[in-house]
Structure 1
Amino acid sequence: MSTTTNEIIEKLKSITLLEAAELVSQIEETFGVDASASVGVGFMPAAGGAGTEAQEAVEEKTSFDVILEDIASDKRIAVLKVVRNLTSLGLKEAKEFTTSLPKAVKESVSKEEAEQAKTQLEEAGAKVKIQ
């Protein structure tokens, strides 16, 4: 790979999942493509089965993000307490965090940890999804 390609890859490794989703949307708009479009019938994976390996990697996802999507106005304090328990945020930072949703509360965690965080947040009154 060229140094430019390596630089881009390194920058992509440092962005959040939400930033990556926004990037995909911008690429789709700029180049008039659909990232979710299926590959045509004539597609042949590269020698060595690289396509198969990538497909298996997607199926065996081991890290998940817990995304806080919305908070009922009457449940904001309860959710704020849970957010503070799940993160290392102080009160002010947690309040700011919950004002601009959706946001990732936990990133790259195990499925069990993601499920626990989702349960805690939903019990407090938040709308949550796991990606």
Structure 2
Amino acid sequence: MNSIKIVRNLPRQWRSFSRCSILQQEVLQAAQPLSVPVPEGVDKPVSPKIEKLFTEITSLNLLEVSELSQVLKKRLNLPDAPVMPMGGFAMAPVAAQEDEEAATPKAVKTSFTVKMTKFDDKQKVALIKEVKSLLEGFNLVQAKKFVESVPTVVKADISKDEAEKLKEALSKVGAVIEIE
């Protein structure tokens, strides 16, 4: 009889043992020490692998460094980067700069930006309709949001005559336009 009782209690005992072992594992995992974040201004600890690479690279001479650089550029498909001068950019003499400015003709501005700075509230509906018709891809809702987001750029990189036509059309319906 006792043996039957023991056999019947075995699954129950096994479950409680299993639960205890799982809880014990969870407790052990929770007891693992947490890593403390590195405070600002202090260098982060470096892995031993990186430290080893650093010491090996710093022990190379200039020819070996050049060869390493070429191999890395080739295998990683890196573009050649321009080399920065040691002292930064040198200041050009002011007189030489003025001579260059006098020798080169002033550049003629070929692209302009049309900017709407404000509009007349009484003519808002007419302005929205005009923006919808002048700007491609705008529906009525987009044109309304565009007008209400003033100041905004209407068009950029356009010719002077196109900018003048746009300014004239929008000025007729109450917009204040600047051409830059």
Q: Same fold, TM exceeding 0.5?
A: yes
Is 1:95 matched with 2:144? yes
Counterpart in the other structure of 2:28: none
Look up the equivalent residue of 2:170 and give its one-letter code: L
Distance 2:96 2:125 in 1: 51
Counterpart in the other structure of 1:43: 94
CA 1:78–1:56: 2 relative to 1, 3 Å:
same
Cα offset for 1:43?
2.1
1:58-69 matches, cutoff 5 A: 60-69=108-117
Look up the equivalent residue of 1:80 and give its one-letter code: I
TM-score scaled by length of structure 1: 0.59
> Where has structure 1 moved over 4 Å in runs of 4 or more?
51-55
Is 1:112 matched with 2:161? yes
Look up the equivalent residue of 2:139 and give its one-letter code: G
SS of 2:144's equivalent in the other structure is helix
Q: Residue 106 of structure 2 is aligned with which of 48, 53, 56?
A: 56
Distance 2:104 2:124 in 1: 40
TM-score scaled by length of structure 2: 0.44
Aligned residues of 1:86 and 1:105 also touching (Cα < 8 A): no
Cα offset for 1:83?
1.0
**Looking at CA atoms only, which structure, 1 or 2, has the larger radius of gyration?**
2
Cα offset for 1:82?
1.4
Distance 1:91 1:83 in 2: 9
Q: Which has the higher contact order (CA 8 A, sep 6+)?
A: 1
Counterpart in the other structure of 2:121: 73
Distance 2:139 2:103 in 1: 42
Give the structure with the larger strand fraction. Answer: 1
CA 1:71–1:53: 2 relative to 1, 3 Å:
farther
Alignment RMSD (CA, Å): 2.8
Distance 1:86 1:54 in 2: 38
